[in-house]
Amino acid sequence: MKARGAAPRSLATRLFVSAALWSVATLLVAGLVLSAIYRRAAEQSFDERLGVYLRAIVADVATPGDDTRTEPGQLGDPQFELSLSGWYWQITPLDQPLSKIKGSRSLFASRLPRLEDAGVPAQIGGYRRGYADGPDGRLLRIIERVIETDEEGRFLVQVAAVTEQLEADIHRFEWSLALTFLLLALALVVSTLLQVRFGLRPLRRLQGEVAAIRRGEGDRIDGAFPPDLAPLASELNLLISSNREIVERARTQVGNLAHALKTPLSVIANEAGDERSSLAEKIREQAQVMRDQVNHYLDRARAAARSNVVGSTTEVTPVIDALVRTFEKIYRDRALVFDAQLEGAPRFRGEKQDLEEMLGNLLDNAGKWAASTIRVRLTVDPAAETGGQDFLHITIDDDGPGLAEDQREQAMKRGRRLDETKPGSGLGLSIVADLAAVYAGQFSLNASPEGGLRATLRLPAA
């Protein structure tokens, strides 16, 4: 057997989940892109500030005979004077001994790492920009450039600063962006839910109209629908009308066939009725068998046609109450007690006359065999326990002699009578079984707690 897969999601759930996921994914991508753009812009702004200091130093180094750059205060920023402040500059002669390296007082005899040694490529104008660890272990943003002078040769000029403030600004922006986008995502999810509910409202109304027809509360779909659903509603109305026309034609044909067959059979039986020979007796016997078979299968054909009528439903409780009152009168001389316990007001998805025939045969059979009491129970098996379809559960118990297990199956066969002393044709229980099968229901016989026979009827509920 194949394992049953997960139940398919509803259309509303599909639309809501897909729209919500796309909205969240779009906002997430947009947030990452904006965060990257802001980081790049913040770094560029920070680099421009460092570049101002770098160009000032380069200008002084490139001025012949000017050795004033040994005093960092002339850069105009006191942070270059504070020891390990995180703001540094350094001038490294490339054609002279390293002992002639000049740097800001904030370096405190330390040295800045070279981006060129770390493999950072040079950009337009010979600038290099990148990150490296500073003298105190903090991360530095470094800008460096190699310059050449006519008199003193080549120099590497570097300006660096810690990135703590830069990272703090970026983190504040990212948190603000995340909070803003989170609120926007919640607003989009709520608006998506409202849009889905509003957009699918006509579908729910169409479902309600179809359910009303199924319950027998209407015979067609009424009301105006959006252009997308109006053709579907029209087609459903045409389908319902076509179904009723087909069933009506079937009933007419069944009735015509019944009359067409019964008349010749009656003629044959009448013609043989005057004869007393064994042949005439055999003809009468077979004519009666044919008549019973014709009636049986015509009844099944009528029931099958009725069971397929859209919107045909019957209230069960009034039918049972009426039948109980009828059989109380029929078996008045035996003082039988009919105890009916009925839950709620369920409806049978089928024709009233078929329900009456099934229950009438079962109550009649119980009345023939009961000693004193017949109990009728009506419950509804919910859809959650029956795979999506509500079912009526009707049990009829009697306190008669009951039937052995091997006799129960024989009792439901057509024409079988287990006791010839009781009146009847032996067709009652077989009719019940046939009608229950026509409506996709079930009929069974079991031992009753009352000591007799329990008849159980399971039929689809509306």
Which of 1-10, 127-136, 294-303, 360-369 is least confident?
Answer: 1-10
Q: Decide if 69 contacts 57 (C-beta within 8 A).
A: yes
Looking at the domain assignment, is residue 119 inside a domain? Answer: yes
Same domain, 48 and 154: yes
At 360, which CATH number?
A: 3.30.565.10
Q: Decide if 438 contacts 388 (C-beta within 8 A).
A: no
Which residues face 461 on adjacent strands?
Answer: 348
The full DSSP string for 138-164 is -EEEEEEEEEEETTTEEEEEEEEEESH
Q: How many domains does the chain have?
A: 3
Looking at the domain assignment, is residue 181 inside a domain? Answer: no
Same domain, 69 and 151: yes
What's the token pair of residue 153?
Answer: 């040769």
The pLDDT score that the predictor gives to residue 301 is: 61
Same domain, 44 and 130: yes
Same domain, 344 and 288: no
Looking at the domain assignment, is residue 174 inside a domain? Answer: no
How far, in Å, CA of 138 to CA of 74, rounded?
25
Report the run of H or E that residue 392 belongs to, with start and end.
strand 391-398
Query: What is the pLDDT averaged over residues 345-367?
Result: 87
Q: 187 vs 13, 17, 178, 215, CA distance in Å?
A: 18, 15, 14, 40
**Would you say residue 70 has pLDDT above 60?**
no
Same domain, 99 and 19: yes
Q: Decide if 61 contacts 157 (C-beta within 8 A).
A: yes
Q: 91 vs 57, 58, 111, 116, 128, CA distance in Å?
A: 9, 9, 10, 15, 15
What's the token pair of residue 259?
Answer: 């009359």
Q: Would you place residue 428 in the very low, low, confident or very high pLDDT band (cuts 50, 70, 90)?
A: low
Same domain, 298 and 327: no
Same domain, 439 and 292: no
Same domain, 264 and 358: no
Question: What values do phi and psi take at 419, rounded to 5?
Answer: -140, 110
Which of 117-126, 176-185, 296-305 is least confident?
Answer: 296-305
**Would you say residue 415 has pLDDT above 60?**
no
How far, in Å, CA of 324 to CA of 338, rounded?
7
Domain coverage including residue 295: 230-307
Arithmetic mean of pLDDT over the chain? 80
Same domain, 251 and 328: no
Looking at the domain assignment, is residue 207 inside a domain? Answer: no
Query: What is the pLDDT averaged over residues 137-162?
Result: 87
pLDDT tens for each residue of 12-69: 788 888 888 888 899 999 999 999 999 999 999 998 888 888 888 888 777 655 544 4
pLDDT tens for each residue of 162-177: 988 888 999 999 999 9
- The rounded Cα 98 to chain-centroid distance in angstroms is 74
Highest averaged pLDDT of the listed ranges 93-107, 255-269, 403-417, 424-438: 93-107
The pLDDT score that the predictor gives to residue 413 is: 66
Looking at the domain assignment, is residue 191 inside a domain? Answer: no
Burial of residue 453 (number of CB atoms within 10 Å: 0-12, 13-18, 19+): buried
How far, in Å, CA of 146 to CA of 348, rounded?
95
Same domain, 26 and 157: yes
Query: What is the pLDDT averaged over residues 377-400?
Result: 78
For 113, other C-beta atoms within 10 Å of its C-beta total 18
Query: What is the pLDDT averaged over residues 119-136?
Result: 86
pLDDT tens for each residue of 75-89: 767 888 888 888 999
Looking at the domain assignment, is residue 221 inside a domain? Answer: no
Looking at the domain assignment, is residue 192 inside a domain? Answer: no
Characterise 451 by phi-psi region: left (phi > 0), alpha (psi -120 to 50), beta (else). left
Q: Decide if 295 contacts 266 (C-beta within 8 A).
A: no
At 102, which CATH number?
A: 3.30.450
For 303, other C-beta atoms within 10 Å of its C-beta total 22
Q: 457 vs 80, 136, 143, 379, 447, CA distance in Å?
A: 97, 89, 91, 11, 14
Mode of pairing for the β-strands spanning 373-381 and 337-342: parallel
pLDDT tens for each residue of 235-281: 888 887 777 777 677 767 766 676 667 667 777 777 666 667 777 77
Same domain, 27 and 140: yes
Percent of the chain surpassing pLDDT 70: 80
Characterise 108 by phi-psi region: left (phi > 0), alpha (psi -120 to 50), beta (else). left
Boundary-marking domain end, from 264, 283, 307: 307
Boundary-marking domain end, from 148, 169, 190: 169
Residue identified by tokens 């709520």 is 190
Q: Which carries the bigger pLDDT value, residue 127 or residue 276?
A: 127
The pLDDT score that the predictor gives to residue 353 is: 83
Looking at the domain assignment, is residue 3 inside a domain? Answer: no
The pLDDT score that the predictor gives to residue 425 is: 42
Same domain, 284 and 353: no
Report the run of H or E that residue 384 belongs to, with start and end.
none
Which residues face 460 on adjacent strands?
Answer: 391
Boundary-marking domain end, from 290, 307, 324: 307
pLDDT tens for each residue of 295-344: 666 666 655 555 555 556 788 999 999 999 999 888 888 888 899 888 77
Describe the crossing of helices 428-438 and 352-369 by its angle, rounded to 10 degrees: 150
